[in-house]
Amino acid sequence: MPERTGPRAGRFLVLAAVFVCAACGLVYELELVALASSLTGDPVTQASVVLSVMVFAMGVGSLLAKRLRCRAAVGFGLLEAVLALAGGCSALLLYGAFAWLGGTRHALVGVSLLLGVLIGAEMPLLMTLMQRVSRCARQDAGGAVADLFAADYVGALVGGLAFPFLLLPWLGQLTTALATGAVNALAGGALVLWLFHRDLTGGERLLLWSVNAAVLAVLAGAAVLADDFERAARHAVYGAHARVAVRTHGQEVVLTGPPDGPPDLYVDGRLRVRGGDPRRHHPALVHPAMRGRHARVLVLGGGDGLAVREVLRYADVESVTVVGPDPMVVRLARTDPALARLNGHAFGDRRVRVVPAEPFHWLRTARGGTPYDVVVSDLPPPAGGAGATPYSLEFYGLAARHLAAGGRLAVHAGPLPERPRAYWTVEASLRAAGFTTRPYTVAAPAGGGAASGHAEGAAPTTVRAGAGPAAGADAGGGYDRGFVLAVPGDPRRTRPPALGVAAGVDGGGVPSAAALEAGARRMERSRPRAQPPSTLTRPRYGP
């Protein structure tokens, strides 16, 4: 065999290349799943699409690679260069499709197919190269295959662990893909140009050097321009008013709007705060639950501080515990002048305590504390995968353990016109968890305060740069929010909670008792005959 090293060293180098290629391939897969899930909010569907399409494409790639076995060395070198370029730029392509084309579905399937074909073609070529090294090392074919698969599996393990714990926190999604592509190109090119250089003609060596240099140059240039690309994409998504953008714990937090005007807050592209309409959602969620004893209040989510603002309008509130918000969102709510002004500087109140913990885990593990008179669930609307957990039967069962006798639970169950089935699944889950419920809705007037064209919790529609977020669909249209007020007790024996507002609290968007009762009657007229609850093992919130 034409090689610069001995047979044992050659076998080690091939296995090292297998290890690196496997790690890079899995990082590409995880990157696609993570970014698509972040952009759409539906991790189950995105993971299913990426994995199934890529596995199918890997089979196709394996068949196509048979034509390259006669020139395995140069074929593998070129294959890795193309894979490095495609995998390295995959996140840019996906994010660009989201920003400028308004969706990721077609781009996700196309990129998954391409990467799957290229990854699938690796193994037959590596087996051919490994067999040549093994013959020189006098290793049997079975042992060579075992070594090859062992290196492949260990590499996948390392790549799978490095992505969430090292690459994503330190580099972010775009730079992670680009850096992985560079490593992929270096590993493939080095193996062929060093170990199998005598298998290459002069023209093939020049071709490999040129292609790999070009790929590395493109990836390096893309890495340098990644921040500019992200700003341009953000401008396309949010319009000209995106003024604060930070990334933390794999999430992108964007604050839009003028510094002296009402802000809109987006987390991973989904609207969390509608600054032009701040006095409808949270008052309707909080005040019906505060009718009664409310000395101790637990807020689940609510990192923007708007639910806490409404709670603190009651002077006899003794303590407010806020569990679950992203620390970066809380920091923005404290320090950004526009957002802090919107929430009334709620997090500066000495009665407020913030616990940056996952709500389900906190409800399950918190012990020994005084129960709460009111629990307010101000979490993102229900979605597939992990997004269904805070709206499951088990979650509400844990919340019931933290309620005092006679306590009340208020839940924001999402925008009604878009997902009525999800709303009634939330209500069914509460009933199955042992609550008696009172569904109600509050309608926003057409055109009233719609600073953004999107229902809260929805991903923004792509708009033309400079048009501003109001250019999206729905701008100027009314939309309804769905809420559920619940009290512990068998629905067959317990009277549903009355809707109303405590005496002395009015104005500032607080709904009247008549409006709340009208919303409740409207909901009862639209109640479906039967709706099963959502559980951890059987989530029922689809895309």
Residues 313 and 227 in one domain: no
> Which of 206, 233, 260 lies at the terminal end of a domain, its last residue?
233
pLDDT at 479 over 80: no
The pLDDT of residue 447 is: 40
Cα distance between residue 447 and residue 356, in whole Å? 36
| Domain span holding position 13 | 7-233
Evaluate whether residue 362 is within a structural domain. Answer: yes
The pLDDT of residue 144 is: 80
282 is in an annotated binding site: yes
Nearest CA among 458, 456, 422, 455 for reference residue 439: 422
The alpha carbon of 20 is separated from its chain's Cα centroid by a whole number of angstroms, namely 27
Q: What percent of the chain has pLDDT over 70?
A: 87
The CATH number of the domain where 96 resides is what? 1.20.1250
Residues 356 and 491 in one domain: yes
139 is in an annotated binding site: no
Cα distance between residue 76 and residue 232, in whole Å? 36
User: For residue 488, what is the DSSP state?
Assistant: E
Residues 22 and 159 in one domain: yes
Assign 279 a pLDDT band (cuts: 50, 70, 90).
Answer: low
Evaluate whether residue 261 is within a structural domain. Answer: no
214-242 pLDDT, tens digit per residue, is 999 999 999 999 999 998 998 888 876 77
- 141's enclosing H/E stretch is helix 141-162
Nearest CA among 260, 229, 258 for reference residue 241: 258
* Cα–Cα separations (whole angstroms), residue 95 to 160, 302, 388, 394: 22, 28, 25, 35
DSSP-derived secondary structure for 267-318: ETTEEEEETTSTTTHHHHHHTTTTSS--SEEEEEE-TTSHHHHHHTTSTT--
Residues 302 and 159 in one domain: no
Evaluate whether residue 372 is within a structural domain. Answer: yes
The pLDDT of residue 329 is: 85
346-378 pLDDT, tens digit per residue, is 999 999 999 999 999 999 998 878 899 999 999
Evaluate whether residue 471 is within a structural domain. Answer: no
Contact (CB, 8 A) for 452 and 460: yes
> Which of 233, 267, 295 lies at the terminal end of a domain, its last residue?
233
Cα distance between residue 223 and residue 229, in whole Å? 10
The pLDDT of residue 113 is: 98
Query: DSSP 3-state assignment of 201?
Result: coil
Residue 408: strand pairing partners:
374
Evaluate whether residue 74 is within a structural domain. Answer: yes
Query: DSSP 3-state assignment of 321?
Result: strand
pTM of the full structure: 0.82
Evaluate whether residue 239 is within a structural domain. Answer: no
188-205 pLDDT, tens digit per residue, is 999 999 999 888 999 999
Please count the CA atoms within 13 angstroms of the CA of 474 that sit on its side-chain side.
22
Residues 208 and 288 in one domain: no
Evaluate whether residue 466 is within a structural domain. Answer: no
Evaluate whether residue 139 is within a structural domain. Answer: yes
Mean pLDDT across 66-91: 95
Tokens of residue 214, six digits: 């070009």
Tell me the residue length of the chain: 543
Residues 95 and 182 in one domain: yes
| Domain count within the chain | 2
Residues 163 and 35 in one domain: yes
Cα distance between residue 44 and residue 16, in whole Å? 33
Residues 47 and 152 in one domain: yes
Catalytic amino acids?
Answer: 378
- 182's enclosing H/E stretch is helix 168-190
The CATH number of the domain where 327 resides is what? 3.40.50.150
> Which of 233, 258, 292 lies at the terminal end of a domain, its last residue?
233
pLDDT at 483 over 90: yes
| Sequence letter at residue 387 | G
118-161 pLDDT, tens digit per residue, is 999 999 999 999 888 766 556 677 778 899 999 999 999 999 99
Residues 304 and 365 in one domain: yes
Assign 534 a pLDDT band (cuts: 50, 70, 90).
Answer: very high
Residues 224 and 318 in one domain: no
Residues 338 and 191 in one domain: no
Per DSSP, helices labelled H in 287-417 are 306-311, 327-335, 337-342, 359-365, 393-401
Residues 399 and 290 in one domain: yes
Phi and psi at 373, nearest 5°, equal: -80, -30
